[in-house]
Structure 1
Amino acid sequence: MNALPLWRGRALALLGIVLVAFSLRSAVASLSPVLDHVARDFSVSSVVVGLIGAAPPVCFAVFGLLTPLVERRFGLERVAVIAIGLVAAGLLLRGLAVDSTTLLGATAVIFAGVGSGNVILPPLVKKYFPDRLGLMMTVYSTTMAVSTFIPPLVAVPVADSLGWRVSLGLWAVFALAGIVPWITMLLSGRTAPVAVASPRSDDRGDELAGDGLTDAVTTATGPISTRPANPRIFGRLWRLPLPWALAFVFAASSSMAYASFAWLPSLLVDTAGVSPAEAGLLLSLFALMGMPCSLLVPVLVVRFQATRVLFFFAIAMGLVGIAGLLLAPTFAPVLWIAIFGLTAALFPLSLVLLSIRARTPESAVALSGFVQSIGYGIAALFPLLMGLLHDVTGGWQAPLLLLAGALVIACPAGWIAGRRQTIEDQWEHRHGRW
């Protein structure tokens, strides 16, 4: 495939993808550091904290199923405008919350938008950057990593100086900016897919075994199809082991992330003897570990097909970090959090797999919706279960063992997801023509 200049005819798409990616995670990470400030104005119970922690994956699961149906009617770009608009509105509303109910409601609005954005970003990358897929996966997953560790760093200082409402609402600026490129593209009619040369269909097997992510996702079909998602694909995905394996890999990634965003500061204050401010910094460190993972993982998958190696490395690091927090939490909490944070490698790994395990944007939309809806549905249980186990046992040993068990259970899924084949390949092998 001949790669085109990154900016030629698609600068707005690049800007839109980056701004949407930034808003998807800053919306998640900006609340928990200032919950103590919010609690000074109105009560925020542990139940509400658990529900807020569960809200992102719940909304992601629901809207992961609905988004492909909406996208089929309105198109990727219009859904992008709707999704980022919901994020912006929810962020503003969250800054205006007057009680725990309105805070939770605004959070649900935010994550309705984020859930839709999560589903459409991989197909948008596939549509506009089919020749730069590995690079763009790195760009937007790295952007999401940056937008995860910055909010815990700045949220508390802003809340101290300007109030928690400003601290929560300021992130809407980035979401509002993210609407502009997509509206501009729609108004100017610049939404045609990027056309690039594609290898011959009979080269598919060699390309999939090669070193190019771009080659892998453009073979067998000629120019990349940009037809809307076909709901019938969902019926096929339920019958294949590969989509389920990807869903469990995604569930492991999301469970570690959202359980940590909800409870890690409290856990560290109780077990490691750190102050709330230090716990916020450690949460930022946990998020920061996603940065090198986002930079390296797509390259390692593209060039070395290191899917299984990366998966089991992330699982091992997660277990080591949890063991440290269980056995010696006060010895080196920075070390344990840094090691545990390497489970973030599962996230960019999942993103890459959503693209290379489907041949076309149409099937990528369906696969993305399937994987994220199931994965987030499972992950939604973990903030609630951790809070329940903590209340029942009065400690954090049982919640940490819950996380460790989830990592161990995900191991077979990682092995299956590492097979170099697409959902179309698997269907054709089992049932005939796709």
Structure 2
Amino acid sequence: MNAPRPLWQGRALALLGIVLVAFSLRSAVASLSPVIDHIARDFAVSSVVVGLIGAAPPVCFAVFGLVTPLVERRLGLERVAVIALALVSLGLLLRGFAGDSTALLAATVVVFAGVGAGNVLLPPLVKKYFPDRLGVMMTLYSTMMAVSTFVPPLVAVPIADSLGWRVSLGVWGVFAVLALLPWIALLVAERGRGAASAPASGGTAPADDPTDGVHDLTDAVAAATGPIAVASPSPKVFGRLWRLPLAWALALVFGTSSTMAYVAFAWLPSVLVDTAGVSPATAGFLLSLFALAGLPCGLLVPILVVRFQATRPLFLFSIVCGLLGLGGLLVVPTVAPALWAIVYGFSAALFPLSLVLLSIRARTPESAVALSGFVQSIGYAIAAVFPLLVGLLHDTTGGWQVPLIVVMGVLVVSIPAGLVAGRRRTIEDEWEARHGHW
């Protein structure tokens, strides 16, 4: 307990599982839009369906962000992780077999139901298995998310050209199936440990603080070979978050991060084609550059936050980059479209920043589960509005000026929330300062 253990010591399966989950969550999001044109050659895909598909990720993330902590309370982190990955795998395979736009949309909803649950589970899974390596693990899985965001736009179209769009969509399901295996193995191993240790489990005190007396934390399970047990969040813990400015600030920061990402993946190629005069193929490449800019953010942001408490500087850096990139597309789009795409892409630093804050702004894994569910459900509900709103504003005004100004306005409005989220205090600290004992 004095020194951090090697990442692989006694928890190699969890390490592999978290990495594969991180890859599966983002590749599921980024693999569809590049091949929409290929799909439209087989059956009609209306603009309404495209808009709904663009809004499906944040809508599902919002809904399942609320539902997942309640399900996790009954089943546990690992079981819900298996269920989530099974949904992702099934949905990705069904997308490859879709025969019309309705089936495509339905399969997409199944995919993002699983992804929404996985998004909520990843931070508490990291906190449970790697409490001594939060910065490293946040860096690792944020990086995997960045990689799995910019790779699909690069390879999806070539695969669709050579093997068909069904293979291009279905191939990502292989990674989701692989991600299932470590968590199934952990469930089997945990069941075996539980059966073996049941007669001797009477006298060990939990290492984590108990909350609300709902569950005893059973981290007497082999500290050297297994995870620290996590108590599930009670409804009381989840309910308290609605009354905390810090929780709302984190939700608004996360909502801004998600808005920037989903607006870009839905509309950035169209903006580039219409305003910068680039070809559709070049627009797809620039979308990959936008996503690639998130890679150094995923590498550096968690370390800078955990080791140097650089939350506010990183937040302001993200906001400024978003404003500069969008402003360039608004004012001088033809001058350096690649530059504007990359600079706009650095606003993705908000995403790993939000993920780290979900862990360090809660004292216990139980609180982290509740905070993760609250923040992601509210944040994705905010983000769900803007892909559709941007399309509506474009159709109404006949241009991209007003939509881009609105998206820039989201960044400006989020600044007070980012300053609040940068305070070095937990949700428990804030509750105790306002209402007494947590």
Which one of the candidate residues 383, 386, 392 is aligned to 2:387? 383
**% identical aligned pairs:** 74
Determine the C-alpha separation between the residues in 2 that align with 1:118 and 1:234.
17
Task: Verify: 1:145 aligned to 2:146, yes or no.
Answer: yes
Query: Per-residue deviation at 1:302?
Result: 1.5
In 2, Cα distance between equivalents of 1:347 and 1:148: 13
Counterpart residue number, 1:209:
none
Query: How much does 1:396 deviate?
Result: 0.9
Residues 392, 191 of structure 1: CA spacing in aligned structure 2 closer, same or farther, 3 A cutoff?
A: farther
**Is the Cα contact below 8 Å between 2:305 and 2:311 reproduced in 1?**
yes
Q: Among residues 372, 376, 379, which one is paired with 2:376 in the alignment?
A: 372
Cα drift, residue 25 of structure 1: 0.2
Task: Tell me what 1:70 maps to.
Answer: 71
Q: Distance in 1 between matches of 2:167 and 2:181?
A: 23
State the distance in 2 between where 1:262 and 1:190 align.
Answer: 43
Instruction: Please say which of residues 170-179 and 256-265 is displaced more in the overlay.
Output: 256-265
Instruction: Answer yes or no: is the 8 Å Cα contact 2:91–2:110 preserved in 1.
Output: yes
1:97 matches 2:81:
no
1:354 aligned partner? 358
CA contact (8 A) 1:255 1:382 kept: yes
C-alpha separation in 2, matches of 1:42 and 1:258: 25
Name the residue aligned to 2:274.
270
Structure 1 equivalent of residue 62 of structure 2? 61
Q: Secondary structure at the match of 1:262?
A: helix
The alignment yields a C-alpha RMSD, in angstroms, of 1.8
- Confirm or deny that 1:433 pairs with 2:437: yes
Query: What displacement does 1:190 show?
Result: 6.9
- Counterpart amino acid of 2:109? A
Q: How far off its partner does 1:188 sit?
A: 2.1
Amino acid at match of 2:21: V
Do the aligned partners of residues 191 and 376 (structure 1) sit closer, same or farther apart at CA in structure 2, a change above 3 Å counting?
farther
Shift of 1:344: 0.4
Partner of 1:189, secondary structure, is helix
Tell me how far apart the structure 1 counterparts of residues 289 and 236 of structure 2 sit (CA, whole Å). 42
CA distance in 2, matches of 1:117, 1:169: 19
1:166, distance to aligned residue in structure 2 (A): 0.6
The AA in structure 1 aligned to 2:404 is L
The more displaced of 317-326 and 226-235 is 226-235
- Deviation digits for residues 3-51 of structure 1 (CA, Å, limit 9, x no counterpart): 1121111000000000011000000000111111111111212221111
Measured after TM superposition, the shift of residue 394 of structure 1 is 1.1
Query: Deviations for 1:346-371, whole angstroms, at most 9, x for unmatched residues?
Result: 00000000000001110000000000
**Residues in 2 aligned to 1:172 and 1:224: alpha-carbon distance in whole angstroms:** 30
Relative to structure 1, the CA distance from residue 70 to residue 283 in structure 2 (aligned partners, 3 Å threshold; closer, same or farther) is same
Query: Is the CA contact 1:225–1:362 (under 8 Å) kept in the aligned structure 2?
Result: no
Partner of 2:238: 234
Alignment size in residue pairs? 410
**CA shift in 2, pair 1:184/1:224, >3 Å:** closer
Give the partner amino acid of 1:95: G
Q: Contact between 1:77 and 1:191, CA under 8 Å: does it hold in 2? A: no
CA–CA distance in 1 between the matches of 2:330 and 2:412?
16
Counterpart check, 1:256 vs 2:260: yes
* d(CA) in 1 for partners of 2:297, 2:6: 26
For residues 3 and 359 of structure 1, what CA distance do their matches in structure 2 show?
Answer: 19
Tell me, what secondary structure is at the counterpart of 2:44? Answer: coil
CA distance in 1, matches of 2:252, 2:151: 28
Residue 189 of structure 1 and its aligned partner are, at CA, apart by 2.0
TM-score normalized with structure 2 length: 0.91
Gaps of 5+ in 1: 201-222
- Is 1:322 paired with 2:319? no
Gaps of 5+ in 2: 195-203, 210-226
| More moved, 259-268 vs 148-157 | 259-268
CA 1:191–1:399 in 2, change beyond 3 Å: closer, same or farther?
A: farther
- Equivalent residue number for residue 11 of structure 2: 10
Change (3 A) 1:370 1:162: same
Verify the 8 A CA contact 2:208 2:364 in the aligned structure 1: no
Structure 1: how far apart are the matches of 2:178 and 2:93?
14
